[in-house]
């Protein structure tokens, strides 16, 4: 990794996908406070620019890129731009992904088109972006990759079979890539948030939120900053001996 300039991530180039809102935005602001240079990717150009403007108050350099991470050519172009403008990537946070949302259903009445979309946006984007940074990280003997999974991969929530399958795929990908890259000084870990107050929760009724809260041993719904702090830890030097792990951030709802 690059020499530290200031802060825990000073002098390092970090890429965050799905950076416009929620956990991605919170992590961008946390990385900025920790001194990283940022490349922020998201489809929502307006919200992405707002995040970039907020991050720029603390970060050394911020490069917002409106990119569809399901488009391989667009991803390749974005990472080429990052390399030209910011330099080699030290940290990749594969945050982009989503459930079927309004098309979610129990599996017996689901359809293959929806499965393919969820697998593409929640698993393939992670693999695609990782492929862009792994060769250089491997060659120089350092790097951090943090992948977004979910508690649902372990808990198995009804109506989320496709999402759970995609995100358990992220867990398997994380473990295999971590084992492959460990001899080269690169760590790869997954985070698995549970009930976190994001836009997805805004779509839920108060009754559903109450049921979710009641299922959490700690008794409350987490905030994006609760996840961003964990990502920042995994991206930093204190996590140098942690790799191949899937860390649940869910108030104790699922205990391994």
Q: Which residue of the set 163, 195, 196, 234 is catalytic?
A: 163
The whole-angstrom separation of Cα 110 and Cα 100 is 10
Would residue 241 show up in a list of annotated catalytic residues for this protein? no
Strands (E), 113-245: 143-148, 186-193
CA distances (Å), origin 225, targets 42, 215, 222, 231: 19, 21, 8, 10
Both tokens assigned to 177: 């890539």
Q: Rg of the chain's alpha carbons, rounded to an integer? A: 17
**Could you identify the residue written with the tokens 């997805």?**
200
> What does DSSP assign to residue 89?
-
CA distance 188 to 171: 10
Neighbours of 103 (CB within 10 A): 13
Task: Measure the CA–CA gap between 83 and 221, rounded to whole angstroms.
Answer: 38
Single out the residue of 23, 30, 28, 19 nearest to residue 66, CA to CA. 19
> So which residues are the catalytic ones?
163
């Amino acid at each position: 990794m690059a020499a530290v300039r200031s802060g825990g991530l000073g002098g390092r180039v970090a890429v965050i996908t799905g950076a416009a809102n929620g956990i991605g935005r919170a992590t961008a602001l946390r990385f900025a406070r920790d001194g990283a240079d940022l490349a922020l990717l998201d489809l929502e150009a307006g919200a992405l620019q707002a995040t970039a403007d907020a991050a720029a108050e603390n970060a050394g350099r911020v490069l917002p890129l409106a990119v569809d991470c399901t488009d391989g050519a667009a991803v390749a172009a974005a990472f080429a731009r990052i390399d030209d403008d910011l330099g080699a990537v030290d940290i990749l946070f594969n945050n982009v992904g989503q459930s079927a949302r309004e098309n979610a259903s129990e599996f017996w009445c689901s359809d293959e088109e929806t499965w393919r979309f969820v697998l593409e946006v929640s698993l393939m984007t992670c693999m695609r972006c990782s492929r862009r940074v792994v060769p250089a990280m491997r060659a120089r003997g350092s790097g951090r990759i943090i992948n977004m999974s979910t508690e649902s991969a372990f808990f198995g929530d009804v109506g989320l079979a496709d999402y759970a399958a995609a995100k358990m795929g992220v867990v398997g990908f994380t473990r295999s890539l971590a084992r492959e890259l460990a001899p080269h000084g690169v760590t790869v870990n997954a985070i698995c948030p549970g009930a976190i107050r994001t836009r997805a929760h805004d779509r839920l009724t108060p009754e559903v939120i109450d049921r979710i809260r009641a299922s959490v041993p700690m008794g409350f719904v987490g905030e994006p900053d609760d996840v961003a702090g964990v990502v920042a830890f995994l991206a930093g030097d204190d996590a140098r001996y942690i790799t191949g792990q899937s860390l649940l951030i869910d108030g104790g709802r699922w205990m391994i």
